[in-house]
């Protein structure tokens, strides 16, 4: 088992001697008027406690040829959760921290196997949140993959908040202008 050591971020305790640190969520900022659920770059464990946590963790994993499935508590979102002695942490993040090392700031773990309860680090890839969302099958991801409007025209007008096709845009403008002129004629007739 590989234990990744690094320096603690400001706000996280620890002297550094005989301690192992792993990326997780901590409550070190909770006493300063900030939420304790902020991601912390590292959480400090005493080395002997870390071994106990790791042994408890691996006892709850069913390793197969493919996915390593978490068999204990599964959050309604589908992700495994584990009490690491300080807080509830996502099991895939905990396993990645144990076997690979800390996740770089600004990155999340993408399940390449699409099984949320999987903790196999070979099935996890650190990517940006945007990339992770676009790889998924959410409405945002499905819409981002579309290359044509419902009428079959390619999206050729790119705006910051939406994409449009020029043909349908012109049709919509003509239709809107006709409605406007009809209303003006109706007002003039009164």
**172 shares a domain with 105:** no
H-run or E-run covering 158: strand 157-158
Average pLDDT over residues 76-85: 91
More confident residue, 183 or 37: 183
Indicate if the pLDDT at residue 6 is higher than 60. Answer: no
| Interval 96-109 mean pLDDT | 92
Question: What average pLDDT does this structure show over 63-90?
Answer: 92
pLDDT at 94: 93
169 in the same domain as 80: no
Q: What is the pLDDT of residue 46?
A: 54
Do 93 and 162 share a structural domain? Answer: no
Given a cut of 90, whether residue 10 has pLDDT beyond it is: no
The answer to whether position 14 is within a domain reads no
Q: Is residue 7 part of a domain?
A: no
Rounded alpha-carbon distances, angstroms, from residue 82 to 58, 86, 93: 11, 10, 10
Which pLDDT score is estimated for 86?
A: 84
- pLDDT recorded at residue 68: 96
pLDDT attached to residue 48: 60
Buried b / exposed e over 97-107, threshold 16 CB at 10 Å, is bbbebbbeeee
Give the residue carrying structure tokens 């419902």.
150
pTM over 0.85: no
Residue 15 has pLDDT above 60, yes or no: no
Same domain membership, residue 184 and residue 135: no
Distance CA 112, CA 124 (A): 6
- Helix residue ranges per DSSP H, 8-138: 47-59, 91-99, 129-135
Q: Which domain holds residue 63?
A: 19-145
Per-residue pLDDT reduced to its tens digit, 19-74: 444 544 444 434 444 444 444 444 555 556 667 888 999 999 999 999 999 999 99
Verify that 108 and 138 share a domain, yes or no.
yes
Question: 117-161 pLDDT, tens per residue?
Answer: 999 999 999 999 999 999 988 888 888 888 888 888 888 887 877
Please give the torsion angle defined by the CA atoms of residues 40, 42, 47 and 48, in that order, rounded to the nearest 10 degrees: 20
Tokens of 37: 């659920």
> Are 130 and 183 found together in one domain?
no
Report yes or no: 141 and 133 within 8 Å, Cβ to Cβ: yes
Q: Does residue 183 sit in the same domain as residue 106?
A: no
C-alpha gyration radius of the chain: 25
81 shares a domain with 56: yes
Structurally, how many domains does the chain consist of? Answer: 2
Residues 101 and 136 in one domain: yes
110 pLDDT higher than 90: yes
């Amino acid at each position: 088992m590989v234990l990744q050591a690094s320096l603690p971020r400001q706000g996280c305790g620890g002297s550094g001697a005989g301690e192992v640190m792993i990326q997780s969520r901590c409550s070190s900022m909770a006493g300063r008027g900030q939420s304790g659920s902020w991601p912390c770059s590292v959480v400090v464990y005493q080395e002997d406690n870390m071994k106990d946590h790791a042994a408890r963790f691996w006892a709850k994993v069913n390793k197969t040829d493919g996915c390593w499935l978490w068999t204990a508590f599964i959050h309604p979102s589908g992700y495994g959760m584990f009490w690491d002695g300080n807080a509830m942490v996502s099991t895939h993040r905990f396993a990645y921290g144990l076997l690979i090392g800390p996740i770089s700031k600004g990155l999340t773990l993408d399940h390449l196997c699409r099984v949320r309860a999987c903790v196999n680090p070979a099935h996890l890839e650190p990517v940006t949140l945007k990339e992770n969302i676009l790889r998924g099958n959410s409405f945002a991801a499905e819409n981002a993959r579309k290359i044509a409007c419902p009428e079959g025209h390619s999206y050729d007008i790119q705006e910051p908040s939406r994409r449009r096709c020029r043909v349908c845009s012109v049709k919509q403008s003509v239709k809107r202008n006709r409605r406007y002129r009809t209303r003006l004629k109706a007002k003039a007739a009164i």
